[in-house]
Structure 1
């Protein structure tokens, strides 16, 4: 009797806690990774992506079964993801079962599982998607006077970003108390500062819980500055 080779489908980073986090801005594109470590051709295999809502409930995100998938007529995809999820067809031969979710929404945040159901024991790969990273802050000049300029910085996101103004030496500037509002599930934060010196100034937005930081800069020339 011929012995069939034992094939182990080991997902990338399956040792220890097989989990990664993907951070994306709202309305951006998110690539959720799922790779077979031995780069086995999975063109003829089945893999299934689901969004984990609870221990008993999952949403079907993307299923591929030997060429049949949700984008070519296969039924079963949750309405939340219709028309927004694709796979990397040219990478299947390299064991790449990753997917891309376009036009991400806040509701897309959560845990996703990539599974090969026909492989036993099953080793689902978990990806945490966080939608809401603050985009680059928006800076504008409110008043441009001879000896000073009033600058405003605005950023939005969820969780709420904190803002600070810095000069070119990365020194934090004195600023007004931030104004905070909430609209559509996002926090909007505005901070103003008055500068009296010619310099390049930056507004830095930080979301500590996401380990995310982004900044924008503006050059300022003070006409009446005394040198």
Structure 2
């Protein structure tokens, strides 16, 4: 159970995120107050809000973040908070397992914020994630997502085009500045897919920042086939070692050819290794320029 503080007369967000992440836009979402009759504080059904069974005390004061339903964010916004709103709220998706019923306890203070957790002295806009290519890992690319200006510490996740969470290559890196705001960073290794769309999402209880990117096919490392050819040439050169000049020239040719081939294998003939850490620049559709 999570605990949320609010002040009478203000607004509050009751957080609820589906795990694993799934698109909730086509599902029924219910927020319930079990101690009330009717117990429904809010209902989203058939792609719209429904007031049919809603408790009259909540009419016109509740809403979901419709644009975030596709990301599994089913948090409830409650406006004009009253003292009677205090209580336990259950986030319920009927089509999901009945064991997954997150409960949020809302505590309402009459006048002051004295019971609220200490916040940084000044608010800061949370930055959109910045995506960059950090290098290669076998046949894959290492992508980095970084976002700054958060408080409290947010969650950062990478997703593929199907909404599946991508495993990180290590723990999420976090640091704080002198004002107490967090910067978060996470790397993942991606493999080439049918469309090469990937998404980074940074979120708190009621704030989400998302960045999408498509990686062109020719940016991925290509399989290197030239080492076998170079090895064969070396063997043939050794077989005719009776000619000293040829025996010397062949290994030299191999070394040069091998070095050239190695560069092509690592870079795929499309990415300069010196530029792999430069942030990706995307257009409005998220594709690379």
TM-score by length of 2: 0.38
Rg (Cα) greater in structure:
2
Higher share of residues assigned strand? 1
State the TM-score, normalized to the length of structure 1: 0.48
Higher relative contact order, chain-length normalized (CA < 8 Å, sep 6+): 1
